[in-house]
Amino acid sequence: MTLDVASAPCKQVIVTGDAIDVTQYPWFKNNPADASRYINMGSVFLYDEEIGPNVGTYRSMVHGKNRIGVNPEPGQHGWLLLNAKRRRGEKFAHCSIAVGPDPITFAVSSNKMAALGEDEMLIAGGLRGKPVEMVKSETNDLLVPAHAEMIIEGIIPLDQGMDEGPYGEMYGYMGPKKPDNFFLEIQAITHRRNPWFINSFTGVTNDMPKAPFVAAGFFQFKKTIPHLTGYYIPPAANGTTVISIDKTMIGQGIQAGQTVSANPGGAKVVIVVDKDINILDPQRVLHALGARWQPSAHIYIPQTFQRAPDPSLPRRGVTSKIVIDATQQLPGEGGPESWPPVARTMLEEQAPESFAAVDKNWSKYFGSG
């Protein structure tokens, strides 16, 4: 659904020409060692005549008043699109960056729910249950979310680049300086009268917003792992993924873990547990490792591709991986002939009234004071 300019909140203020100064806005420098302030939660809109549209979340280093970086990593859809244009001899690509779109649009732009060339905004509309209202950019034909806080428009030169970084990565380490990265020459900035500014506090926090990745990961892997019941990346545990399955057959744990480990985005360690384990609770996951896993129940992958900025990689893009099958092993997998009952389950079945009694008396014995 396309709105006219007059009714689009992101067009309440329009800045062009000599008035452009992206440095006047309160972008964060998360870490003292970062090369500059960064716009790190923008949804970057691109289009290629042969490939189609793309929306991705790529950080943008603030280089100056009218110039910011655009940092799709090698292999990401934006990187593939821009390099396709470059190979055909095109000199620039139009680009519009939406800062602070609605959460569903941001979530879709931050994952791989769409194949390269598919329209992510159609997926966003489907998840919302109604179309995302869009509006045409001021300086190009790209449609952008009309209710975003800000739109930064311009062109990306394809025959030149600028150094980018260093930048505090989600692993808690400083990423390296990257030579000749893509950058954007800003031609217009439009925004709400009092825009909100969104930031991902990577670096010192050892983390980044993961909800889009978790939701997209479950959506993606449920297609190929029908017995998948949960998918989670624990806070500050980048490179580790925990999944739960409804295990009924020999080998399902290892098979599910191998499928997830094939994702180049960050699953260096994949832990597979049974569906009764709450994968949001680290204690329950560690309990499964201690009480259900035998170290023989794993598979080691000595070398494979890895796109994540993992500081332990021996060389960029190459890693080893491990799948840990912490499900209850069946006899045919080398497990015991039978597993004893889980004490917590027995409590729930044989003394269900105890939970209500605890809740009733909790404030009496452990008051908030």
If you average pLDDT over residues 249-269, what whole number do you get?
A: 89
- Split at pLDDT 50, 70, 90, the class of 345 is confident
Supply the pLDDT for residue 111: 82
Supply the pLDDT for residue 209: 74
- 107 vs 103: CA distance, rounded Å: 6
Q: Which residues have CB under 8 Å from 324's CB, separation 6+?
A: 257, 269, 270, 271, 272, 289, 293, 297, 298
- Split at pLDDT 50, 70, 90, the class of 43 is very high
Supply the pLDDT for residue 279: 96
pLDDT at position 91 over 80? yes
- In the block, tokens 């057959």 appear at 249
- Split at pLDDT 50, 70, 90, the class of 258 is very high
Supply the pLDDT for residue 184: 98
Strand duo 318-325 + 269-274: pairing: parallel
Please report, as a single letter, which amino acid is at residue 70: V
Q: Which domains does the chain have, with CATH numbers?
A: 5-191 (2.30.110.10), 211-349 (3.40.1670.10)
If you average pLDDT over residues 241-265, what whole number do you get?
A: 93
pLDDT at position 368 over 70? no
pLDDT at position 261 over 80? yes
pLDDT at position 4 over 80? no
- Split at pLDDT 50, 70, 90, the class of 267 is confident
Mean pLDDT of the chain: 92
Looking at 28-37, 202-211, 231-240, which range is the least confident one?
Answer: 202-211
- 106 vs 91: CA distance, rounded Å: 29
If you average pLDDT over residues 3-18, what whole number do you get?
A: 90
If you average pLDDT over residues 75-97, what whole number do you get?
A: 96
If you average pLDDT over residues 279-308, what whole number do you get?
A: 91
pTM given for the model = 0.80
Supply the pLDDT for residue 304: 87
pLDDT at position 1 over 70? no
pLDDT at position 252 over 60? yes
180-197 pLDDT, tens digit per residue, is 999 999 999 999 999 999
If you average pLDDT over residues 111-124, what whole number do you get?
A: 88
Looking at 168-172, 269-273, 356-360, which range is the least confident one?
Answer: 168-172
Looking at 106-120, 174-188, 279-293, 319-333, which range is the least confident one?
Answer: 106-120
Classified as helix, coil or strand, 341 is: coil
The string of DSSP letters for 212-271 reads HHHHHHHHHHHTT-TTEEEEE--TT-TTEEEEEE---STTHHHHHHHHHHT-TTT-SEEE
Evaluate whether 215 touches 231 at the Cβ level (below 8 Å).
no
pLDDT at position 17 over 60? yes
Supply the pLDDT for residue 230: 96
- Split at pLDDT 50, 70, 90, the class of 244 is very high
Q: Name, of 100-114, 139-153, 286-300, the range with top average pLDDT.
A: 139-153
Evaluate whether 240 touches 271 at the Cβ level (below 8 Å).
yes
Please report, as a single letter, which amino acid is at residue 214: V
Nearest to 216 by CA among 173, 260, 179: 260
Handedness of CA 356, 360, 361, 367 (dihedral sign): positive
If you average pLDDT over residues 81-87, what whole number do you get?
A: 97
pLDDT at position 265 over 80? no
